Structure 1
């Protein structure tokens, strides 16, 4: 299948699908989902494309979006591509200093902002960003500053496009678009150092579309995809573009903290997510199982044994299950698993691509046992997302799947995973030295992740190389493996493993506060506030017991000897987490220096 440039994708698809739904979004004023057709979407893209031409946006000029997931974001993207312009997406949660850095480096003239938080930051940034000429505000409820003389609302821009006579200019630009044109500059979150702008061309996306069509043969335009992760993240961005390419309906989730409700309203058949989402699902189900009694308890445990055998020992390997086992599974699927999937909001689930962080093998197996088809994978912004993912048959638990068609992977020095292929980025924006450092002399991209290839060609990740540390006894520690295992526990929410150049391993732990409160109530533990609760010796004993069980399979030198419980979670606002929810170890080491030192007394 030949994939064409994104510059006229929406128009081409509108000709095919007409008044069929392309996406829906929730109107929070009416609390109703609003549907948009392909024809309407194409009209909106054409109108904004003309408006951008009226603003004298240049070909290959950088435009920035700073917003939550909103329909306007997709309209802006494809209007920009029609003009051969480049989109630089900023995370809606980005701080003032973060957006200032990107605006100045990318020399942004026009910035599209979502809600009040983004507008307020952007307006402040405008004072110290000399190139920034105009803010275009997507939400009509945003209140502009009294002395703001340059910002306009999206509705004003739309009116400008409706009155424009620039259709011919836009058409000339669309026809002149090349696959080598830059489509996006996506800034990495930066767990260390300043963020780097990854340059992705239309050719990178074209290849990403092609190889996903070849690999994911189980999906079709009858599917419904929930757009849940930030569209700034390459995973959701590339996936949403893939859905548009395939004609898959999209439900745009505006508020990430409400996903538990919106997923039940939409019942998507597909949803990209990070492991954290499924960890919470697993914890909730385990809680239900542990509280079950009598016949219900026996039924659920029997169902899990049957589901594991049927789905992992047979279906996973493409084998037909014995008649009796298949009969039992169908019964348990009807009375147990289907109810579980319905409770989550995915009664008709097809596939659920999951990546961005390690997913526990225990949780992965459990979800497949329950008939939730997790397509676990691995990728980076620099590789236009997917490097590898589970095949529908033959996937190996413990791996991140087989490499995508036409993507080459080899293991280099220090077991570093190296990648080559047409999805690999053009380089880092305005950073030639950093670009040179991440490519080998023969053109392979250095991922910074350590791993190995199995005999069957599956890719296994062992650790993020930069995260590896060595104790003072000379033992190497892979902290992510420990953190992922501890994350399975219902009483543990977040973990940062410590131990670089120390004599033993420790951890800063964020407990699951609600579960902890329930435990305290059951055990009649008195406390005044969270700070009081996490210092309680009974709570400390509980967490210690849970850790001891979870880390049994780790070598003694890898095991956590001491830990500190915090009364507040790691957050993006305080710098402990990146915008993609990865922990920033240097920041955590700095902020909690006193707590860490106390564990080594």
Structure 2
């Protein structure tokens, strides 16, 4: 996507001439020194092939054609051994970092709301050896509190260093760790705790008081609650029979000679390491059983795709650790000696909602080299930066647009642009600390426009990954030298992928020019199935060679170089009254690029002839549009204004036509939603995936109105 130029033609010609002269003068010496020819050959090489010539046969990475990889280090076949290896190799190096809280205050906003603002100091670090000792003592303390080996223990906590310490303790002592999203509602939390029959839970003070306390009477087996916070508090009005401990007191108990000296039964590769509850985007969360060998295989595949991963890297952790993307990313870093510094979406950048104006966000202080993000966060960064570009004066905007389009042309050829990076994009890059060398996107498809923008403005490759909880988050990651967009890369060395015909959607593995079909993932990273849930057992199967496979429900196509592109999803496909198939995910992905839209949910009933949509508008753009149309009122009044609805629908339709959507795919009616969709509202998951069932229920009256029922 080229940025449009709106400047004096003579000035434009002069600038283009200067750029041309600069390119000609610097090209030959740069080409000889940079090794770009080698980079280009790497980018264009075939990355995966079919294992044989039969239709529908699996694709494998060219680096694992003879055998799928399953072990990171020789002899380290369980997670406790993997971390012990890391402790031995990187013992004194920084491991986990937490930023100190200097002050906290309430700040009154112009609309009357009160926001909590913080000033944070430096990062305090624990070494690999210190983390290992803390985990060992905590595991010993849990055992002293009656936690049995191979029994389930829950963690319901925000992303922080204590989460990983608790997880490592469970891996060491062979406790099966049950993970629950911190944004789940009460019924979903109670369901997970009761289904897994936990007697011990690890949580934070805030989550205990805000979410857990209300459902304790619904969890009769619960006996011990361990709070990770250091600050002591008085605990009153809690059910009898439940004991509340601090993490420090449990570690102290575990460090006593009579407890630390007790022999522990080490896990074996097939033991359950994690029961990870999904975000519940399609109903009640399911617990995915992940063995030690599953997770190690997934980590092995991911590590092979990240170049030069090692002690010089710093990773910033802020996504939910209960999500397989964040857990896998952090564990890959930890087993390679990286530092992991913790953050949150509210404190990530200088402009984040909890950071007091004038003070530094976490990325500015930590300066990470590695970062994972979900597309929703990248889309926000993209729109915020482009809004600032629109506010620049003409000269600044001209320079930015020229540099953007010039760099886009150069990186498409495999060339770098050091001057543009230093003088034009340095300020944008500093939003994430200025040293990021790899950004990894996962959790949902990333739009081509956002991916290209992040490549250009943050001066680093943006790798798209594809995987599911059921495959340990591992299936593909795009090559760091591949600057194409919209693709998720070739299969990782730990798995193979094949396509299955889906006749209803019209996708076949014999399609030309690219084979298409439902994505099936096979390999040692495919998990053991769902905990106490046989309803979905058909999603998994074992082939004649004894290999496990998972049927994803996603539709993909393979390109000639062995890279996969996600093109549809079974559950997102709706057949309209006249027989046309509409991919709701495709409609949403296209329209989210519109500056006026912060989020969108497309919806269609199979007994209706058209698509409708729910739009969370960008407040700044919508208010500007309202002023232009001379429509006044509060934010809610403007969102509920029928004239504004029509105007936004017109803009949405124009964007859809420009993006070449079919006429039947374009929403015919929309609802402007004044409240943003966050995990706290229950309308999106922690990875910001739409919860279609909850959205349908929440907007039931609007659906009836737009379809003529009311």
Q: TM-score interval w.r.t. the shorter chain? A: over 0.9
1:288 aligned to which of 379, 388, 399: 388
**Matching residue of 1:162:** 255
Shift, 1:519, TM fit: 4.9
Instruction: Give 3-state SS (helix, strand or coil) of 2:419's partner.
Output: helix
Which residue of 1 is the match for residue 581 of structure 2? 476
Residue of structure 2 equivalent to 1:506: 612
Q: How does 1:380-529 map to 2 (within 5 A)?
A: 380-394=468-482, 396-414=484-502, 415-439=517-541, 443-501=548-606, 502-517=608-623, 519-520=625-626, 525-527=631-633, 529=634
Deviation at 1:523, TM superposition (A): 6.6
The answer to whether 1:137 aligns with 2:227 is: yes
Contact 1:104 1:129 in 2 (8 A): yes
Q: Does 1:181 align with 2:271?
A: yes
SS in 2 for 1:272: strand
In 2 relative to 1, CA 476–142 (structure 1 residues): closer, same or farther, beyond 3 Å? farther
Match of 2:243 in 1: 150
Cα distance 1:203–1:133, how it changes in 2: closer, same or farther (>3 A)? same
The total of aligned residue pairs comes to 583
Quick check: 14-23 or 552-561, which moved more?
Answer: 14-23
Match of 2:197 in 1: 107
Name whichever of 152-161 and 113-122 sits farther off.
Answer: 113-122
Deviation of the 1:574 alpha carbon: 4.4
2:461 and 2:483 in contact (8 A); partners too: no
Where in structure 2 are the equivalents of 1:120-269 lying within 5 Å?
Answer: 120-139=210-229, 140=231, 143-147=234-238, 150-170=243-263, 172-173=264-265, 176-253=266-343, 255-260=344-349, 261-269=361-369
Call closer, same or farther: CA 1:598–1:433 in 2, change over 3 Å: closer
Give the deviation of 1:74 after TM superposition. 1.2
1:535 to 636, 640, 659: 640
8 Å CA contact retained: 2:602, 2:611: yes
CA distance in 2, matches of 1:55, 1:505: 56
Match of residue 348 from structure 1: 435
State the distance in 2 between where 1:541 and 1:337 align: 38
> Cα deviations across residues 241-295 of structure 1 (Å, max 9, x unaligned)?
1111011100111x32222222222221111110011101110121122233332
Give CA deviations for 1:10-69 in whole Å, capped at 9, x if unaligned. Answer: 443233223221011123256322211122212211211210221232221111011101
What does residue 593 of structure 1 align with? 700
Distance 1:256 1:210, change over 3 A: same
The separation in 2 between residues aligned to 1:584 and 1:465, in whole angstroms, is 15
Greater shift, 442-451 or 177-186, is seen at 442-451
TM-score by length of 2: 0.78
What CA distance in whole angstroms lies between the structure 2 residues aligned with 1:108 and 1:164?
27
Q: Distance in 2 between matches of 1:93 and 1:7?
A: 29
- Superposition TM-score, scaled by structure 1 size: 0.92
Query: Cα RMSD (Å) of the superposition?
Result: 2.1
**Does structure 2 conserve the Cα–Cα contact (< 8 Å) formed by 1:92 and 1:118?**
no
The alpha carbon displacement at 1:397 in A equals: 1.6
> Residues 292-331 of structure 1: matches in 2 within 5 Å?
292-311=392-411, 313-315=412-414, 321=415, 329-331=417-419
Identify the residue that residue 318 of structure 1 maps to in structure 2. Answer: none
Q: 1:282 to 1:540 in 2, by over 3 A?
A: same
Report deviation, 1:555: 0.8
Q: Which moved more, 1:225-234 or 1:52-61?
A: 52-61
User: Partner residue of 1:274?
Assistant: 374
In the TM superposition, what whole-angstrom CA distance separates every residue of 1:163-204 from its partner, at most 9, and x where no partner exists?
25222334x42xx32111111000112222322111111101
Give the conservation status (yes or no) of the 8 Å contact 1:450–1:463. Answer: yes
Q: Verify the 8 A CA contact 1:468 1:479 in the aligned structure 2.
A: yes
| Deviation of 1:493 (Å) | 1.4
Q: 2 CA distance for matches of 1:587 and 1:177?
A: 39
| Whole-Å separation in 2 of the counterparts to 1:387 and 1:147 | 44
Instruction: Please state how far the C-alpha of 1:589 moved relative to its aligned partner.
Output: 1.9
Moved more, 573-582 or 365-374: 573-582
Give the CA deviation at 1:467.
1.6
Q: Secondary structure at the match of 2:536?
A: helix
Shift of residue 433, structure 1, vs aligned partner: 4.2
**Greater CA deviation, 344-353 or 105-114?**
344-353
Determine if contact 1:116/1:143 at 8 Å carries over to the other structure: no
Residue in 2 aligned with 1:550? 655
Q: Secondary structure at the match of 2:424?
A: helix
CA distance in 1, matches of 2:477, 2:325: 13
4+ residue stretches of structure 1 with deviation over 6 A?
none
1:72-127 deviation line (CA, Å, top 9, x unaligned): 11111111111111111111112221111011110101001113233453334332
Q: Which has the higher helix share?
A: 1
Q: State the distance in 2 between where 1:459 and 1:337 align.
A: 30
C-alpha deviation, 1:532, in angstroms? 0.6
Distance between the aligned counterparts of 1:545 and 1:285, measured in 2? Answer: 25
Contact 2:376-2:688 within 8 A present in 1 as well: no
Higher RCO by CA contacts (8 Å cutoff, separation 6 or greater):
2
Q: Which runs of no fewer than 5 residues in structure 2 stay unpaired? A: 1-71, 104-119, 350-360, 503-516
- Aligned 8 A contact 1:396 1:458 in 2: no
CA deviation digits over 1:504-530, x for unaligned, max 9? 111011112244335546776421x22
Aligned position for 1:12:
85
- Partner of 1:51 in structure 2? 141
Tell me if the contact between 2:554 and 2:570 (Cα under 8 Å) persists in the aligned partners. Answer: yes
Question: Which has the greater radius of gyration?
Answer: 2
**Within 5 Å, which residues of 2 pair with 1:25-104?**
25-29=98-102, 31-32=120-121, 33-104=123-194
Q: Provide the residue aligned with 2:108 in structure 1.
A: none
1:10–1:41 contact (8 Å) kept in structure 2: no
For the residue of structure 1 that corresponds to 2:346, the secondary structure is: helix
Equivalent residue, structure 2, for 1:357: 444
